[in-house]
Amino acid sequence: MLLLTTIAAVRARREEVSWTGMRVAFVPTMGALHEGHLALVRRGLARADEVWASVFVNPTQFSPHEDFSSYPRDLERDRAALEREGAALLFAPSTREMYPRPPATAVDVAGLTSGLCGLHRPGHFRGVALVVAKLLNIVQPQVALFGAKDWQQATVIRRLVEDLNIPTRIEVLVTVREDDGLALSSRNAYLGAEERLAARVLWRSLQAAAGAARAGERRGTALEAVLAREVGREPLAGLQYAAAVDPDTLQPLESIERRVLLALAVIVGSTRLIDNLLVEGL
The correct pick among 46, 110, 193, 215 for binding its own copies (CB under 8 A) is: 110
CA distance 93 to 4: 7
Phi, psi torsion values for 171, nearest 5 degrees? -120, 135
Q: Which stretch, 105-113, 170-178, 205-213, 271-279, contacts its own copies (CB under 8 A)? A: 105-113
**Span 177-206, contacts to its own copies by CB under 8 A:** none
Phi-psi region of 250 (alpha: psi -120 to 50; beta: other; left: phi over 0): left
For β-strands 50-55 and 2-4, DSSP reports them as: unpaired
- Clarify whether 65 is annotated catalytic: no
Min CB(128)–its own copies separation in Å = 12
Q: Which of residues 146-165 bind its own copies (CB under 8 A)?
A: 159-160, 163-165
124 lies in the binding site for its own copies (CB under 8 A): no
Kindly state whether residue 95 participates in binding its own copies, applying the rule CB under 8 A.
no
Stretch that binds its own copies, among 35-43, 65-73, 133-141, 181-189 (CB under 8 A): 133-141
Q: Please pick, from the candidates 45, 133, 197, 236, the single residue that binds its own copies as defined by CB under 8 A.
A: 133
CB contact set of 222 (below 8 Å; sequence gap of 6+): 212
Pairing of strands 260-268, 271-279: antiparallel
Strand partners, 239: 266
Residue 150: helix, strand or coil by DSSP? Answer: helix
Binding positions for its own copies, rule: CB under 8 A? 7, 11, 18-19, 21, 103-112, 129-130, 133-134, 137-138, 140, 159-160, 163-167
